[in-house]
Amino acid sequence: MLKEITRVLIALFYFCSMKPWLLFCAIFFFTTSAFTQPCVSAFPYNENFESTDGGWTTGGTASDWAWGTPVKPVINNASSGSKCWITGGLNNPAYNNSENAWLMSPCFDFSGLVNPEISFKVFWETERRFDGATLQYSTDGGSNWIVVGNANTNNCDILNWYNASSITYLGNTVGWSGNVQANAGSCLGGNGSGAWVIAKHPLTFLAGIPNIIFRFLFGAGSTCNAYDGFAIDDISIKEAVADAVTIDRTCLAFNSVQFSAAIGCISSYQWSFGDPASGSANTSTVASPVHIFSGAGEYTVRLNAGFSNGASTVTTINVVIISASKNILWPGACTNTADATLMVSPTGSSTPYFYHWNTNPPQTSSSISNVGSGSYSVSISSMNACSITENFILIPSGNIEINPVVSNSVCGPGKGSVITTASGGTGPYTFLWSNNATTSAILQLTAGTYGVVVTDANGCSKAGGPFVIVNEVRQLNVSLGPDKAICTGEMVSLTPGQYQNYLWQDGSSSAIYNTNVLGNYHVSVTDADGCSGSDTIQVVAADCRDLFFPTAFTPNDDGLNDFFGPLGNTTAAKQYSLQVYNRYGQPVFSSNNPMQKWDGLYKGKAVTAGNYIWTSSYLLGATKHQRKGWLMLIK
């Protein structure tokens, strides 16, 4: 019925165009059309133009749109069935000069559509660049028309949408243009479709709009029109749906898997790996994420894929992570007998496991028996699981050697030790001592006898010992040197050598004892082992009629022994000179005044501790004295 009404209205339109009351007829035509052609609101809308022309109408300037079966040199069939819409008539290998004609759709109501899209089959054979067609839409009853889409923007949601960015006789707009012919004089060839192709474009910008009409607008110049034209078939308008998505996975390790979606049309990714124990790593938004699973078990990996046309889909895949423990029973390891049993115990999968040993022939059970020394491996797999490989190396045990280092308990109880290393056999080794210790070394031992049993990885053992610890007392040979003779005001430094602890007669505990007082001095020392020793020295008055030079001084501003210089009969010294040199022979101090002493500075800076050489000459009475010696500067 709708088709019949449409034909009547078209006849009225042409009738009115020849009458003087054209305005009245036009008002009648459009008013009647609006009320007699309800908008299509049931989707999907599919029209193959086989039984009817689909209610699509034609118009414009020099229109030669035709509905039926095309019989032309290039376009000689419909896309499906036998009928389609085409310009230039059904059998004319040319279209009209100066044509600007349209094929217009019925009205569509997109109120119930969220992600509408349009697709159709298209075939074009026109002069390239000058002639061609485009698709337009209107939401105001045809007062204004807008081109759908842009040229050369094909992607996952846009397919074969325009191949020309500017068609001259379409007002330099985008569209389909070209042919399969070669250039013929000034007529441009090339870029024709050569066959029916699917064109598709999203219409999300029209979602929810109640009154929409479409039209294919065809334009041509006045020359070079001997081409088949432009044809349309199999039009579909529907709610866009997400493409089917499958998930691919690649095992990088037994618990590390890389995922990807086996379709390139996704615009957003929301992955969930079903592994809450992995924390924030349990989700990802990248296209090909890598996830390291937290443990053995079965996981459901979920992808929520979003598409640029607004559609989305959820796909899941099952992933199994397996692990395995292994065990070796080798009674004959110590004698290299081929009686070993190798076993694996996998976990993580609820489905059967599959085994493949590298034996000849390969064995397929969870254990193998009666094998000897060598390398063995087994590959373990299960449904949806990343396979794992377990390796076994059987090395027969040779003779185990025990190498001990025994240290007595020196200068006190509980200071002995036995430190052992093992070699031979097959590591690692375990140790069991007679005092129940299980380390390779036992320390802080009292006097006594100790033994050990060393066992290797194959269970072969060897006993070591007995190791005897005795209490060893060692007396330190401590010496403060010979008695010291000093002049009045002279400072002497007493040191017994390097030890851990010191105790002087006055209770002080420094390594060096400085004094200028005559008397007896005593020191007791202990070393790191707790051994002790002592010595006593006497500081006596010297014959100070001559000059004396200290052997050490401590320039630390403590008021004790802070300077180096002559002591004794300094007031009687004449023609005096003193020079001090470092170990490189460079002078660091000199003086011609016996009352001037060295404070340990050179050019205003403190010199380093160590040994220095000094020389001095002077007259006492009529006697000339030449002196030299070593000096220790102590800090």
pLDDT tens figures, 124-136: 999 999 999 999 9
Q: pLDDT higher for 446 or 34?
A: 446
State the pLDDT at residue 154. 67
Question: What number is the average pLDDT over the span 460-487?
Answer: 89
Domain 38-239: give its CATH architecture: Sandwich (2.60)
Query: What residue segments make up the domains of the chain, in order of their start?
Result: 1-30, 38-239, 247-321, 323-394, 401-456, 474-540, 543-635
Of 85, 53, 346, give the one whose Cα is nearest residue 233.
85
pLDDT of res. 8: 42
Helix (H, G, I), strand (E, B) or coil at 2: helix
pTM of the predicted structure, to 2 decimals: 0.48
pLDDT of amino acid 37: 62
Range from 24-33, 182-191, 215-224, 569-578 carrying the lowest mean pLDDT: 24-33
Residue 330 backbone dihedrals phi, psi, to 5 degrees: -135, 85
**Residue 11: pLDDT over 90:** no
Q: Peptide bond before 202: cis, by omega within 30 degrees of 0?
A: no
Nearest Cα residue to 138 out of 215, 237, 40: 215
Q: Which residue has the higher pLDDT, 284 or 474?
A: 284
> Tokens 């995922």 sit at which residue?
259
Calculate mean pLDDT across residues 186-206: 95
Query: Over the stretch 451-468, which tens digit does the pLDDT of each residue have?
Result: 999 999 888 999 999 999
Q: Please, how many CA atoms are within 13 Å of residue 532, restricted to the half-sphere of its CB?
A: 7
Identical fold at 38-239 and 543-635? no
The CATH number of 247-321 is: 2.60.40.10
474-540 topology per CATH: Immunoglobulin-like (2.60.40)
Whether the per-residue pLDDT at 5 is higher than 80: the answer is: no
- Residue 12 scores a pLDDT above 50: no
* CB crowding 43-53: b at 16 or more within 10 Å, else e: bebebbbeeeb
Q: Which amino acid is at 392?
A: F
On the question of pLDDT at 19 being above 50, the answer is no
CATH of domain 543-635: 2.60.40
d(CA 578, CA 561): 18
Instruction: Convert the pLDDT of each residue in 570-622 to its tens digit.
Output: 888 999 999 999 989 999 999 999 999 999 999 999 999 999 999 999 998 88
CA angle 177, 180, 182 (to 5 degrees): 105
User: What's the whole-number average pLDDT of the chain?
Assistant: 90
What distance lies between CA 601 and its chain's CA centroid? 59
Q: Which residues touch 349 (CB under 8 Å, ≥6 apart)? A: 298, 320, 322, 382, 383, 385
pLDDT score of 50 more than 80: yes
Which CATH architecture fits 323-394?
A: Sandwich (2.60)
Q: Between the CA of residue 378 and those of 165, 356, 390, 392, what are the distances in Å?
A: 63, 5, 5, 9
272 pLDDT more than 80: yes
Cα–Cα distance measured from residue 145 to residue 137, given in angstroms and rounded to the nearest whole number: 5
Distance CA 258, CA 290 (A): 4
Task: Note the pLDDT of residue 237.
Answer: 97
Nearest to 386 by CA among 328, 301, 314, 326: 301
pLDDT, position 264: 62
Q: Is 4's pLDDT higher than 90?
A: no
Is residue 167 within 8 A of residue 159, CB to CB? The reply is: no
Distances (CA, A) of 200 to 179, 266, 312, 436, 627: 21, 17, 18, 83, 113
What pLDDT does residue 23 have? 38
Tell me: pLDDT of 29 over 50: no
Q: Are strands 57-61 and 100-104 parallel, antiparallel or unpaired?
A: antiparallel
Peptide bond preceding 70 in cis form (omega within 30 of 0): no
